[in-house]
Amino acid sequence: MPNGMSFIDGVALWTQYSTARNAMLDTAKLQKGEYVLLTAATSSRSKVAALKSIGIEHVIVASEQGIATEVARITDGIDCPVIHDPIARENINKLLDALAINGILLTYGVLDLSPALIDLLKGMAKFATIKFSAVFQTLSNPKKRAKMVTFVLRGIAEGVVRLVIDKTFSFHDIAEAHRYLESNQHVGKVIVTVD
């Protein structure tokens, strides 16, 4: 943990940047200037202003807007070469519509545990690659872990890695923390401290 960083900030830091760095740089080989679609940031219009205030350039509310239509508009029709998704299931087919030709759909979670039925024709038409990614790919590999630590520490020093902590709860309020997460009001990390 960097000098001067609080324990709470340190807790919020590593997993999110490990997951993203592994997926974007190691797995997808994302290049500067390429578009990436990050799903599950919001499911309602109520978070749009908060997401934009922390630097998110474009926000698509999937329950109100067509993902593929909005991605095509934002990218001037080239679609996204990389999509990073923690939902899976039915979402996969909607995301294939927004994926660029030869694109990579990275799944790093399954918020919907139902089995996914993937439209193979959609995937084949895009020459899509579907890969699974997890933070443990970085944490269990000493070389990748060292690269990630260097990346995060440099990002903090240069001011490009930012922490967004929405709310902190005491362990005694764990049920309230869980309800808060389920309410989907948070923008940023929700931290539980052990007193």
Q: Name the band, by pLDDT with cuts 50, 70 and 90, for residue 5.
A: confident
7-163: CATH class: alpha beta
CB atoms within 10 A of CB 24: 20
Q: Name the band, by pLDDT with cuts 50, 70 and 90, for residue 161.
A: confident
177, 185, 180: which is closest to 43 by C-alpha? 185
Q: Name the band, by pLDDT with cuts 50, 70 and 90, for residue 191.
A: very high
pLDDT digit string (tens) for 31-76?
A: 888 998 888 777 777 788 888 888 888 988 887 888 999 999 999 9
Residue 143, pLDDT > 80, answer yes
Name the 3-class secondary structure at 63: coil
Separation of alpha carbons 27 and 107, rounded Å: 11
Residue 179, pLDDT > 90, answer yes
Position 130 scores a pLDDT of 92
Position 89 scores a pLDDT of 77
| 125 alpha carbon, distance to own chain's centre | 25
Separation of alpha carbons 136 and 114, rounded Å: 23
Q: If you write DSSP's letter for every residue of 103-129 in order, what string do you get?
A: EEEEE---SS-SPP---HHHHHHTT-E
Q: Name the band, by pLDDT with cuts 50, 70 and 90, for residue 126.
A: very high
Position 175 scores a pLDDT of 97
Position 76 scores a pLDDT of 93
Q: Where in the chain are the domains?
A: 7-163
Residue type, 74: I
Position 91 scores a pLDDT of 82
Position 41 scores a pLDDT of 75
**Which residues fall within 8 angstroms of residue 171, CB to CB, at 6 or more apart?**
192, 193, 194, 195
pLDDT digit string (tens) for 14-37?
A: 777 888 888 888 888 988 889 988
Are 30 and 104 spatial neighbours (Cβ–Cβ below 8 Å)?
no
C-alpha atoms less than 13 angstroms from C-alpha of 79 in its C-beta half-sphere: 20
Residue 104, pLDDT > 90, answer yes
pTM equals 0.83
Residue 148, pLDDT > 90, answer no
Q: Summarize the confidence of residues 124-130 as an average pLDDT.
A: 95
Q: Name the band, by pLDDT with cuts 50, 70 and 90, for residue 195.
A: confident
Separation of alpha carbons 193 and 178, rounded Å: 13
